[in-house]
Structure 1
């Protein structure tokens, strides 16, 4: 994947708390890259450094629009379910939870796969409880 080092550096900045610089760098990469796989990754990570849920939803939707590698689908649908849950749109949240569950078989049986499977359960529990708060497990936290 071209630009992998730049994406990784920007994601690291966001995880370290410099969300503004991460957004600026990832947005620049989004504008510079044509490859759908790379654009999907950039949009997926750009969603994680947004301050507003509506902006996070916008980037998660962009990632879904350009996705080509189906391995991204469980995580993308999980993020969309959580976005819609936090925006108090339970029908859309449930729809994306079902799609995330449908694609869980694409995940490896490693720590990442277990993380996504567990997060699906957490989002489903929060949705059932009517909770619209950001969950501690959310990558945007």
Structure 2
């Protein structure tokens, strides 16, 4: 069973210019994790999603990260530098809002965009917090544009 050090090695060695190799390392760690390793699964899936080049695969990883997150205790992500698990919620919701929007799943996208927006106050006023705030604003603008082209709010 992998330790946090194995997860951190796979995550920190993940590179966009080596998507396949990086994904293979993350999948190996994922496959070795137990059913109750929710915090590690959340982190691995969160990073794997960012490396996927196929939207449906990206969204599946994002969904896996979010499903695992539901079982993560508040201090369970401390080994990766997140003192409170609540600090990851905006990013998880953002990724699902973005992925669902690109898939045309507007109702689900809106749900996660609203949840991301509501979770923003937990973020620090630092570079990471600003990055997530800006990304939420960007998805919100794209959502409004997509919604105006298909009709009424929330229509899939």
User: Above 0.5 in TM-score?
Assistant: yes
- Larger RCO (CA within 8 A; separation ≥ 6): 1
Q: Are residue 88 (structure 1) and residue 104 (structure 2) matched?
A: yes
**Normalising by structure 2, what TM-score?**
0.77
Alpha-carbon separation, structure 1, partners of 2:144 and 2:10: 39
Q: Are residue 6 (structure 1) and residue 22 (structure 2) matched?
A: no
**Normalising by structure 1, what TM-score?**
0.85
User: How many residues were matched structurally?
Assistant: 127
The runs of 5 or more residues in structure 2 that have no matched partner are 73-84, 148-156
Report the alpha carbon displacement of residue 101 of structure 1 after superposing the two structures with TM: 0.8
- Find 2:38's aligned residue among 36, 39, 57: 36
- State the match for 2:19 in structure 1: 19
Alpha-carbon separation, structure 1, partners of 2:122 and 2:40: 19
The runs of 5 or more residues in structure 1 that have no matched partner are 132-141
Report the alpha carbon displacement of residue 6 of structure 1 after superposing the two structures with TM: 2.8
Give 1 or 2 for the bigger CA radius of gyration: 2
Report the alpha carbon displacement of residue 7 of structure 1 after superposing the two structures with TM: 2.0
